[in-house]
Structure 1
Amino acid sequence: MRFNPLLNDLFRGEWLLDVAWISTAAPLVQNIIDGVATVQQQEVKERALSIIDASGHQVNPRNGIPENSIGVVSMVGAAMKYGGACSYGSEDIARELAYANANPNISAIIFKLDGPGGAVSAIGPLLTFAAEKKKPVIGLADACLSLHYWAAVGVCDYIMADNDISARFGSVGVVSQFMDAKKHWEDKGFKFHEIYADESQHKNEVFKLALEGKYDKIKSEILNPMARKFQAAVKAARPNLRLEEEGIISGKTFDADKALGIGLIDGIGTFKKAVERAKMHAELYTQS
């Protein structure tokens, strides 16, 4: 079996992820483990940024960007901080957002979101962009779950579902998943040794306990604080959130109609309506 560096990202760290995605990703993970599919063999996605003019027609930036254009940045699929040959990381997405933010001929940005969440580390570059943005960002989303929802509330001035059938929002929660392969390798004759310095008694403690089925420390020291930060970000960005709704900040997901009713989003529409909303917000930004 060939080692694939993608496994390192798939099986480590904490995740802001809708767990339903994990089981659907299992065939892909198995193919990567078996060497059937590698990053190099997967199709490279198109650029995360496109530009449309004020009439809604796509523009080739090489031919110049007209005034009052709108940048369209996409974050699709499970998100990680660093990109690869087949996908963009949140650092790449943030750079595209920053480019649109800095270009004087782009008046607003549409941020298209469709994904189950991703690694906790992926949120940082997006929140850094949000702190520096000077133009309105309209979120247009299908699946907008967990980290994708944190990105939406952190970056967008207005969040819109792009349909009322498949669009879902929420999954405000944190999960840690890692694989204990020790028995597998021990059955093949390998023996593991972990030797710590006397002065390093707390090194990897929470993970060693978790491997023993003792989850209290990993929850209290890592997962719970992150979940509280996620909840605080949602509550701060969505002041009209109906917090009495069961599960709204503890992991439930909601369809577009329900999400609108409880304050998770601001509207339901289409790309055309998102463009109209972007123009409206651009005028408001100009006046303020």
Structure 2
Amino acid sequence: MLRTLWCIEPIWAEQHLPLVQSFLSGQFPIQTNEDDETQTQDPIAGKTFAIAAQSGSNYAVQNRYALDDPELPDNSVYVLDMRGVVVKESNCCSIGTEEYARLIRQAYAHEKIIGCVGLVDSPGGQLSGTPTLYDVIRDPIKPFVVVVNEGLMASAAYWYSCGADYIYASQQTDQIGSIGVYIEFDDATEAREKMGIKRHTIYSDRSSQKNRPFRDAKEGKTELIREDLNQAADLFRAAVEQGRGKRLKVAKKGGPDVFEGGLFYAGKAIELGLIDGYGNLETAIAKVAELASKPKGEAVEELPDDHDETGDNTPEVVDLPDNDDSDEPTASVEPTTSQSNLISTTMSLFGNPHKVLSGLAGVEGSKITNEQLNAANAELDAEKITGVRVISTTYLEQAKQSIAALNQKNAEVETLTKERDDARAEAAKFGSQPGAQPTKSEKVEEKITTVEKDTYISQTDADLAAMKAQMQ
């Protein structure tokens, strides 16, 4: 509970905090009964099952099968009960994201399973493992549909759910969203000082940046820890934009922005494009069967443009099969089109080895960062794919413009060079005519005589030379 980051609705966390604190302090008794058969029961039992997707049947009363059941009918849909707090590792009470991912991969690989349905009621939970489950759900090998099972789809639960082809709410009171990241911690410094406890923390001279965001936050300087939170929030946003695509509605002036962390009731979530309508288990199974009947990689129609203020933006309401044993709604808002993430790509039955490359599908080029491009090229290098690189169309257009400008410059240089050569040729014609060369007047150089000054060894020699000069 303490060693990882969490993406969880704070109301749920606050309600369970006393239980967590009592457990950590040793005051919460853990009772076990080795004779109780439920203690050794497989936690997966009852949490997953398969139902035959036969049109016109009442799915609520159909038999439920395990994946390894030899009597499992053809064209079955695998249903996962994904309610509860999201955790990475399974325990005696719940299935972790690691186990969910494994089960979904097994279902994708099963020849009798045509797709999956997730029943979600969760406040969110552990960050670790959530992106992996999102990748598995979004894998286009087989369709995946999620139903908010009359409750909550918040934070980490929405993160992995938005990788599904469709998301339905079962009731108007369902709440969806809480897309955001925050951190909360207790500072017990003053309490320890009152108890006479003084803590000394010493860091190596070579570890000045270790735990710095946390240390600064305790001193009231939150810039570094906010920067770290912003990175996680950006990853969350990228997953939602990738998973929901064009169905997300752009925030209008003065209206709610889904990426600011708000939690919305089902009707508003439909309006904002967070989910696709109302439905129940029958609705989800029918949608899986519909998507599975389409050829793999079949092109899907583009989403229609938003209606103007005078247009009718009311979704179509369709009847659902009767279900006498359920209080679930009898109407569903039918989305206008299937999700465009049913892309044609090579995938492994054990997951997508090219998460970054396939993750860029459907993302607008202007929103792809240099880091994502570098990561995609790193995947190509890892697969020893040489001579191929992923680049932005913006860079490609800039390169084309640079090449065009260079070609124009070269053309200008060639034109000037030709003009120069033509001018020289024309000048050469005039140079061969009489008078072309100017008359030159040669200057006779005067001979300059340099008289060197005599050098005398002694003053006597100098005096004798002077007397000789006078006599001459």
Same fold (TM over 0.5): yes
CA-CA distance at 1:181 after TM superposition: 4.0
CA-CA distance at 1:60 after TM superposition: 3.9
Cα distance between partner residues in 2 of 1:133 and 1:240 = 18
Q: 1:152 corresponds to which letter in structure 2?
A: S
- Residues 63 and 126 of structure 1: is their aligned pair in 2 closer, same or farther, counting only changes over 3 Å? closer
Which string of whole-angstrom CA distances, capped at 9 and with x for unpartnered residues, describes residues 222-245 of structure 1?
101111221222223221222214
- Residues 181 and 102 of structure 1: is their aligned pair in 2 closer, same or farther, counting only changes over 3 Å? farther
CA contact (8 A) 1:52 1:69 kept: yes
Matches within 5 A, 1:1-288: 9=1, 11-33=2-24, 34-38=26-30, 45-47=43-45, 48-55=47-54, 56=59, 57=62, 58-64=64-70, 65-130=72-137, 132-141=139-148, 142-154=151-163, 156-165=164-173, 167-185=174-192, 187-188=194-195, 190-220=197-227, 222-238=228-244, 239-244=246-251, 245-286=255-296, 288=298
CA contact (8 A) 2:134 2:159 kept: no
Cα distance between partner residues in 1 of 2:189 and 2:160 = 36
TM-score, reference length from structure 1: 0.86
CA-CA distance at 1:170 after TM superposition: 0.8
CA contact (8 A) 2:137 2:144 kept: no
TM-score, reference length from structure 2: 0.54
- Greater shift, 90-99 or 44-53, is seen at 44-53
**Identity across the alignment (%):** 31
- Residues 275 and 19 of structure 1: is their aligned pair in 2 closer, same or farther, counting only changes over 3 Å? same
Unaligned runs of 5+ residues in structure 2 are 299-472
Cα distance between partner residues in 1 of 2:295 and 2:179 = 30
CA-CA distance at 1:71 after TM superposition: 0.5
Unaligned runs of 5+ residues in structure 1 are 1-8
Cα distance between partner residues in 2 of 1:59 and 1:138 = 19
SS at match of 2:248: coil
CA contact (8 A) 1:209 1:215 kept: yes
- Residues 287 and 214 of structure 1: is their aligned pair in 2 closer, same or farther, counting only changes over 3 Å? closer
CA contact (8 A) 1:17 1:175 kept: no
Q: 2:6 corresponds to which letter in structure 1?
A: W
Structure in which a larger fraction of residues adopt strand: 1
CA contact (8 A) 1:39 1:85 kept: no
CA contact (8 A) 1:12 1:177 kept: no
CA contact (8 A) 2:131 2:160 kept: no
CA contact (8 A) 2:104 2:137 kept: no
CA-CA distance at 1:132 after TM superposition: 4.2
Cα distance between partner residues in 2 of 1:77 and 1:209 = 34
> Whose radius of gyration is greater, 1 or 2?
2
